[in-house]
Amino acid sequence: MDTLLFVLKSIVLGIVEGVTEFLPISSTGHLIIFENIMGFKSASPNYVEMYTYVIQLGAILAVVLLYWKKIKETIINFFPQKVGYEKSGFKFWFMIFIACLPGAAVKLLLDKPVEKYLMTPVTVAIVLILGGLWMIYAEKRFRNNNLGKQKLSVTPKQALIIGAFQCLAIIPGMSRSASTIIGGWVAGLSTVVGAEFSFFLAIPVMFGYSLLEIIKIGGLTSLPAAELISLVVGFVVAFLVSVAVISQFISYLKRKPLKSFAIYRMIFAVIVLIAGFMGFF
Which of the two residues, 180 and 222, has the higher pLDDT score? 180
Q: Residue ranges per domain, the chain? A: 1-278
Give residue 49's Cα distance to chain centre.
15
Query: Does 214 have pLDDT greater than 90?
Result: no
The pLDDT of residue 148 is: 53
Give the CB-side neighbour count of residue 116, counting CA atoms within 13 A.
Answer: 4
- What pLDDT was estimated at residue 150? 57
Mean pLDDT value of segment 1-9: 85
Among 240, 222, 238, residue whose Cα is nearest residue 47 = 222
Q: How far apart are CA 58 and CA 264, in angstroms?
A: 25
pLDDT-derived band at 21, boundaries 50, 70, 90? very high
pLDDT of residue 149: 54
Dump pLDDT digits (tens) for 64-83: 999 999 999 999 999 999 89
Q: What is the pLDDT of residues 144-189, one digit of tens each?
A: 776 555 567 889 999 999 999 999 999 999 999 999 999 999 999 9
Report pLDDT for 215: 84
pLDDT at residue number 1 = 55
**pLDDT of res. 53:** 86
106-110: list long-range contacts, CB under 8 Å, 24+ apart. Answer: 106/167, 106/170, 107/170, 107/208, 107/209, 107/212, 110/170
Q: What is the pLDDT averaged over residues 15-31?
A: 95
Report the pLDDT value the prediction gives residue 161, as an integer from 0 to 100.
Answer: 96
- Residues 6 or more apart whose CB falls under 8 angstroms from that of 230 comprise 6, 7, 9, 10, 51
Q: What is the pLDDT of residues 227-260, one digit of tens each?
A: 999 999 999 999 999 999 998 998 998 888 899 9
What pLDDT sits at residue 146? Answer: 67
104-132: pLDDT as tens digits: 899 889 988 998 888 899 999 999 999 99
Please state, in angstroms and as integers, the Cα–Cα distance from residue 45 to each residue in 5, 66, 259, following that order.
20, 35, 39
pLDDT at 144: 79
Average pLDDT, the chain: 90
% the chain with pLDDT above 90? 64
Give the global pTM: 0.92
